[in-house]
Structure 1
């Protein structure tokens, strides 16, 4: 093992010892010596199988066959989740074929940041993660199940499902992906049209046509945002079947992998004799593997919050300092749009997860000695799935990149450190996705232009007020303030300013996730302005330094001057009502800061 990776892992193990022991004791206590439904009364059980077929009723009565709970995020509005429509039927058939039963235990909400971008609904997005966890927990709380299959892909859905899975950590669990859509309009063309629209040079009709050509069919969006980062991280953590993350939704191989996921979960149940609950599968080494995968691929900065909250649900404490230390030794091996020329389908064609895992194992950057849903040892994830005469088989994956512009090697990485940088200074702590930012743009020192709302920036841009070197400060966007919306609506105008030759950056207590693009952005600033962070005292014209190379985030104003200032206190009431936001007040009030996972749960 790389000594830094080993050192960080051991620090996490030591730091988490008490909470992890308590967690493992909890899931051990929840374990059943027989099928879980045997603990139910006759009336309970009758309610639990009342709607089943005659054969399934007989199977559930006999207390021998395993019953697998299916939690689905299906809806047919969102492209990533539409493919799940027929998964329950398929999974049930595959379970029947191996002598098990499946029931849809419940559904969870699945919203799309792409639809809500720049809209009021975006202020529910981050909060939905914990709601998804609670929704899944309700489905599994009937105690009818001996294992679980989680169907989810996009931004908050997978982290929320993971947190629920850890809450039911005594159940063997497999996560079942649905795959990306095929590549549509080129990324370069999409960005070009967006920036032309921001400059008023093309109209809404041209913009809509471009967007529809990019997002055009079932499957995840093909850029490397949070959705595809979810899939990458979950596979390297061993919670997907090897090679299953980036297979198209509508081909026979995807169906075969879905069937295999159903079979595999039964092999980990108590009845199989090879019991492996997900709460024991996921340990400190597995969490470190997830962080390494994120860093090596320049994945979504949302995971600097999600992985913290996910780990906590398993009794494991990780910090931003862990990300920072690992980032110093984990090289950037992938450039996937918006960090490079090719999208996730190019990544898959260039060698995909199997090649990435091979390279990282070769460098001692991943823990090989871990449990996975495919068996013990991460070497299993250097293999790829294929169909031979209709049967699923695995073969050794590529040993070298088929496109060095998309996947590099340990010997010639794109950058010698990871794609995410933790920043700190008197403004607080933040993260920057450096993998997307040109090297000559990672150090910005400029006067602040301060906004308390993202919606005011368009007017300032259109009026030419931002045509200068500046650092755009967008504050009161944090979790407690308004739910921490993503601010991607800002990227086209800020990209235009960069193209005009200005040195610009963004500093915010809001989010940008994995699609931040080329603009240097210090995001997730904590403490947020709403709870007393120094952001609330920044004024127009104050000099700020953002340094993605050293990790500096500093307000260059004398301490005496700052002490005399009164923090801004904008009226946020309009962001707390309408579009369902009033229903989420309790979550906002109880949510933790970004560095603590932005979670409402008290693990």
Structure 2
């Protein structure tokens, strides 16, 4: 089936806008491919260092020129539940590599912070920057030039985007991303949210809140709500970087280990030594990036990817804009309801048909580029199938043609909503985005007086004083990347949720982030330019009428033009945000980071966008 005209048009527009930068990128990775395994160009001393710790068999293979050597880049640590299962992956990967005549080495580790631990804490101000630190760390790991393909072990919020940026920077190498899977379902997410809201209202004690949280986050594996971590896994599958159907298989199960085994076999098969050379820099093209955006819309995924996908695309010389997200959202229907956009968790989604059903529906409706290259081979048809083990323990794939639960997954002909629920807002307050897939339609337009904050903790303080029991728009400014690293502002969700539940018309406007858990509160986020960088949020005063209009796509301060233009920008003393918990180490990144609408990256994505505009 031909792809939808709007999808084709947006893809062509991206390709045309990116033509010069993409051609330059492809020329670089083609030159980097060289002739044969790179380690053949190392001196004897270099190579001896590179395999000194290997066993005899691996040493013999690495001395030759025909054995694929797989570089493992791992984000393992045992504090992150999602990443703890990776502890035993390197040995499994090495053993399977030997079986297929290859070798594998852990090239290096990358940091992996948990936003769930740092939420509302000082460490959260390092979170977004950790994406670019991860990219650089992976770059250091791969710079030894010993490898013919890379296997990336990462799951959570900034980790996968950082690894993607690194993979594309080393785009001459094939890259296979290897998931570890979600933890089994615990306390239902809606029950957990109810306890959180009751705690925010002072109706339950802290011990009850901790008990609820512990029953929700209870074992190895990814958290089961559909935030950025699980959105990452969806993206890796719909972009063809995972094996088909592998994203949401639980950890430490026979099927999980078999899928990891097959990922190793595939990585060894697609190096330049074989006949199926699949360099990731050529595999990931404009169509692949568009497929990722489509997946985000069809599942109601995390708004963090409005930053990450732009930065990832730029690493491949592709210029992706907020307007592209908006245009694609208008034609991609919402096919999944997963918490916070519904009651189900990610295990329920997988059991209902998961990614294979979703991808099949999008392909059949002409809403996905099916002719892309993937790590599994050519085309997306293989991704319609769900993996399982037969009675002999052999991996088998079965097409998924029906949803097992239409309350969680629906066909493209009967979606939950006709569009992806994401909008770009523009006006005299700047440029922002809003996710409305779970916002009630009667809250699509909020017009109310501003209450201005410069610290998210002050919102809760004002709520506890009783100052916010009314209609208002919370303007939480000086939260952008240059100001304090653009932390997520999840501490606002329970408070604003309580007020909306009381019938008040409330909204949030911020140059910070809200991730995939922004929920039912209208939230205009990632406002650019940010307040510290001359953005108009710095002009807003308490009592200014603010109009957030999803239908019209506008975000306005309803202030007389003459007065607005004459107003001075408020300055903020943010020095207390710039030290402690390692924040002093990140001054260089705060000074170098680009704008939110160009990916909030330190790698020059802002310059790439400006060049494309010119």
Partner of 2:76: 74
Partner of 1:185: 187
Post-superposition offset of 1:32: 3.0
Residue 526 (structure 1) aligned with residue 528 (structure 2): yes
Superposition map of 1:483-494 within 5 A: 483-494=485-496
Using the size of structure 2 for normalisation, the TM-score is 0.97
Post-superposition offset of 1:412: 1.3
Paired residues of 1:155 and 1:230 also in contact (CA < 8 A): yes
Partner of 1:266: 268
SS of match in other structure, 2:580: coil
Residue 557 (structure 1) aligned with residue 559 (structure 2): yes
Partner of 1:46: 48
SS of match in other structure, 2:437: helix
Partner of 2:15: 13
Paired residues of 2:387 and 2:398 also in contact (CA < 8 A): no
Match of 1:122 among 113, 124, 127: 124
**CA-to-partner distance for each residue in 1:207-263, whole Å, 9 max, x for gaps?**
000000000001111000000000001100000000000000121000000011000
2: distance between equivalents of 1:602 and 1:434? 30
Superposition map of 1:392-411 within 5 A: 392-411=394-413
Post-superposition offset of 1:299: 0.3
Partner of 1:136: 138
Partner of 2:302: 300
Residue 212 (structure 1) aligned with residue 210 (structure 2): no
Superposition map of 1:570-585 within 5 A: 570-585=572-587
SS of match in other structure, 1:524: strand
2: distance between equivalents of 1:428 and 1:396? 48
Residue 152 (structure 1) aligned with residue 154 (structure 2): yes
SS of match in other structure, 1:271: coil
Partner of 1:434: 436
Paired residues of 2:474 and 2:508 also in contact (CA < 8 A): yes
Post-superposition offset of 1:392: 4.1
Match of 1:364 among 366, 371, 381: 366
Residue 235 (structure 1) aligned with residue 199 (structure 2): no
Q: Mark the runs of 5 or more structure 1 residues left unpaired by the alignment.
A: none
1: distance between equivalents of 2:28 and 2:64? 28
Post-superposition offset of 1:438: 1.5
2: distance between equivalents of 1:365 and 1:553? 30
2: distance between equivalents of 1:433 and 1:513? 10
Match of 2:472 among 470, 481, 505: 470
2: distance between equivalents of 1:602 and 1:98? 40
**CA-to-partner distance for each residue in 1:462-499, whole Å, 9 max, x for gaps?**
01100000010100000000000000011111111011
Using the size of structure 1 for normalisation, the TM-score is 0.99
Match of 1:454 among 453, 456, 479: 456
SS of match in other structure, 1:492: helix
Post-superposition offset of 1:398: 2.1
Match of 2:542 among 537, 540, 543: 540
Post-superposition offset of 1:352: 0.3
2: distance between equivalents of 1:275 and 1:187? 43
Partner of 1:244: 246
Partner of 1:445: 447
Paired residues of 1:149 and 1:173 also in contact (CA < 8 A): yes
SS of match in other structure, 1:219: coil
Aligned residues: 603
Post-superposition offset of 1:286: 0.4
Paired residues of 2:453 and 2:475 also in contact (CA < 8 A): yes
Paired residues of 1:347 and 1:406 also in contact (CA < 8 A): yes
**CA-to-partner distance for each residue in 1:275-299, whole Å, 9 max, x for gaps?**
1100011000000000000011110
Paired residues of 2:443 and 2:522 also in contact (CA < 8 A): yes
2: distance between equivalents of 1:565 and 1:419? 34
Superposition map of 1:287-366 within 5 A: 287-366=289-368
SS of match in other structure, 1:488: coil
1: distance between equivalents of 2:511 and 2:153? 31
1: distance between equivalents of 2:500 and 2:393? 52
1: distance between equivalents of 2:384 and 2:274? 26
**CA-to-partner distance for each residue in 1:44-69, whole Å, 9 max, x for gaps?**
00000011111111111122211100
Post-superposition offset of 1:391: 4.1
2: distance between equivalents of 1:66 and 1:479? 41
1: distance between equivalents of 2:431 and 2:485? 18
1: distance between equivalents of 2:399 and 2:535? 48
Paired residues of 1:257 and 1:392 also in contact (CA < 8 A): no
SS of match in other structure, 1:102: strand
**CA-to-partner distance for each residue in 1:308-342, whole Å, 9 max, x for gaps?**
00000001111000001101100111111000110
Paired residues of 1:33 and 1:270 also in contact (CA < 8 A): no
Moved more, 436-445 or 448-457: 436-445
**CA-to-partner distance for each residue in 1:537-576, whole Å, 9 max, x for gaps?**
1011111111223322111111111122221111000101
Paired residues of 1:198 and 1:493 also in contact (CA < 8 A): yes
Post-superposition offset of 1:390: 4.5
2: distance between equivalents of 1:480 and 1:519? 26
Match of 2:205 among 203, 206, 209: 203
SS of match in other structure, 1:207: helix
Q: 1:390 to 1:550 in 2, by over 3 A?
A: farther
2: distance between equivalents of 1:460 and 1:481? 23
Moved more, 464-473 or 389-398: 389-398
Match of 1:56 among 52, 55, 58: 58
Post-superposition offset of 1:378: 0.6
Post-superposition offset of 1:127: 0.4
Paired residues of 1:351 and 1:397 also in contact (CA < 8 A): no
Match of 1:171 among 170, 173, 180: 173
Match of 1:30 among 32, 44, 53: 32
